[in-house]
Copies of this chain bind each other. A is one copy, B any other.
């Protein structure tokens, strides 16, 4: 469930984890009250240091997504509903968007190309109520 990390890209592992878990919580894959893998288990699975996992958990704890307690474990707190927390919500979108644009820029695209394609895909989203399915 968590094993799709990019070790070569420009996004730190802990940051990738934060995004991934946020999404899993937001989409209901991880339900409130559910326990996440322990830092050690997750660390050995992903072959990173346990502190890297702990860092992601701590960030999510501070953001109110998870609740971690020494000796007990890490649990899902609240589903991140669109209604709650507007400023952090927009900040999240901004982060996602910036990192998407940066990636596009780095692999050689220009704003017009991106804009053109986005217009198309956004229109499809408006029509269908959901964005076009991506392969991943």
Complex Cα–Cα for A108 and B101 (A)? 20
Complex Cα–Cα for A11 and B101 (A)? 18
Number of interface residues of A (CB under 8 A): 65
Tell yes or no: A37 within 8 A of B by CB.
no
Tell yes or no: A5 within 8 A of B by CB.
no
Tell yes or no: A9 within 8 A of B by CB.
yes
Q: Please determine whether A108 and B82 come into contact, CB atoms closer than 8 angstroms.
A: yes
Interface residues, chain A, with chain B CB atoms under 8 Å away: 8-12, 15, 19, 22-23, 26-27, 33, 35, 61, 63-64, 67-69, 71-72, 75-78, 80-82, 89-90, 92-109, 111, 113-115, 117-118, 121-122, 125-126, 130-136
